[in-house]
A and B are shown apart, each in its own frame.
Chain A
Amino acid sequence: MGSDDRPLQGGDLIRRHRLSTRLWHWVNAAVLVVMLGSGLMIFNAHPRLYWGQYGANPDPAWLEIGNDGAEGYLRVAGAEIPTTGLLGVWTGHDGQPTARAFPGWATIPSTYNLALARRWHLTFAWVFAVPLVLYAVWSLANGHLRRDLWPKRREMRPRHILRDAADHARLRLPRGTKAARYNILQKLSYLAVMILLLPGMVLTGFAMSPAMAAAWPWLLDIFGGRQSARSLHFVFAAALVLFFVVHVAMVLLAGPVNELRSMVTGRFRLPPERERRG
């Protein structure tokens, strides 16, 4: 934002994220930690996943984390992967081997306590769901969704998407004025998170609630049963973790100080254009 009328260029400081985006971002960052940690603890109470309306120990599980004595394993769709030390059996705080699915360093609380994990999960679920609805409404009202996130027709051309993917793969991130707006891969991943994964977490959560499934029986139909909803809750959570890992990696690659500042103060310095060669 130069004071003169010259066009925007690399090195300029621009206003990147509005207050609602910054607030929602950091609330979500905290909520993700609590929901993931307490969610993994809840999973430990019954570390098996099923498809369909019902599913318990006598029924076949498509995913199971368990142990044969001192050997931890992860069974997915018939394949068995040894996971001793990480999943199934791991070393607890006391130095003793602990036979639980997810290890204490990843769960809230760090020792087995289903009741306490549920309190965390079902309280912070409100801190997750209410701002999600508010932000969705606000993003529709203020044009954020339409202007900043919704892909333009030309951006959706396969050639454009492929070129952007190739640039990302070579870690040639946008610079100069191009960095002032989200690129197509960013738009698609943010939209997938906002429109599919986050509402998907809330709705699969509702489908697992016996009271909500009574009030809104269509929840059981769209997910194919309560145990399918529980499986999808886990799959969506894994997808969110994947998003988180890539997101943090991209922040580190794009310049963590500038990126963090933009999400705290809203101001973002456009990375200078590359020197043209030859």
Chain B
Amino acid sequence: MSRRLTRRRALATLGLGAPALLLGCDRLGRAPSFRDMVLETGEWLSYRAQRLVAGQALAREYAPSDMSPVFRTNGSTRPRDPDYLAHAETGFADWRLAVDGRVARPGTFSLSDLRDMPARTQITRHDCVEGWSAIGQWTGVPLWHLLQQTGIRAEARYIVFHCADDYSGRPYYESIDLADAAHPQTILAYAMNEAALPMGHGAPLRLRVERQLGYKHAKFVMRIEAVATLAETGLGKGGFWEDRGFYEWYAGI
């Protein structure tokens, strides 16, 4: 009899304990101190550990036969900005990319300027934070080449990408560190699958930063800014989703 009771009690503990545990996790997940002191440690550790292990290793490049038959779009697929739409009408003929901030020679570049620079073509896998992957071919100018052209200064620590799209009036932006900025596969792509970059994928120019998740790959890039700190851009966390949604700034995992 006593054994039966014990079993019943054990089962009841399991039955009630599990949901109570999950509700406790909900509570902890809302507490700012738990977020700061516990839930953000994973990003801190992954950033340092992966930089140590991965170094400047290249992301896998695939054969044309490995490419996704259909590369789905995600996020903004048509910015609302009138200036942007006017440029889109004319095929971005008069559009110019601005490069400024902590650079010696700030300047602007047309699409043909960018196409005249050294180009890199790579077939890589795009991994969305949601879990899906698509393989496509990208052609563009290595970001580091552009930053050297403009004379990136010693105090620059991050590269910020200002975009033409917005969510509820808040412009999209993203940022990467210099290790990723100098990585050979980090390019500003103006072509996808051997055609001009379509609007759904970020025309006229998008970032490819192959060792991080999709939301880091800023689309509709209008301006590139070299900064010493991320604190002065947006809400200071280095990206739109980082500011608004508790997403990790370092998205290598």
Contacts and interface: CB of A to CB of B under 8 A. Distances in A.
A98 to B, nearest CB: 15
Question: Which secondary structure dominates chain A's binding surface?
Answer: helix
A187 interface: no
Given A54-B125, A255-B3, A256-B6, A108 B131 contact: no
A33 B22 CA distance: 8
A20 interface: no
Contacts of A176: none
Interface in B43-77: 43, 45-46, 50, 53-55, 57-60, 62, 66, 68-72
Interface stretch (B33-41, B101-109, B112-120, B220-228): B33-41
A105 B16 CA distance: 11
A118 B70 CA distance: 27
B72 A56 contact: yes
B253 interface: yes
A33 B23 CA distance: 12
Contact of B59 (A53, A55, A119, A210): A210
A58 B70 contact: yes
Given A209-B50, A214-B211, A215-B53, A122 B131 contact: no
B87 interface: no
B135 interface: yes
A214 B22 CA distance: 35
A230 interface: yes
Interface residues of B, number: 59
A210 B245 contact: no
A209 B22 contact: no
A123 B39 contact: yes
Contacts of A48: 132
Interface string A93-133: 00000000000011111110111101111111110000000
Interface of B: 3, 6-7, 10-11, 14, 18-19, 21-23, 25-26, 29, 35, 38-43, 45-46, 50, 53-55, 57-60, 62, 66, 68-72, 125, 127-135, 210-213, 241, 245-248, 252-253
7 contacts: A37-B25, A46-B128, A53-B125, A56-B70, A56-B72, A122-B42, A213-B60
Nearest first, the 7 closest Cβ-Cβ pairs linking A and B are A211-B252, A123-B42, A209-B253, A215-B54, A46-B131, A56-B132, A58-B70
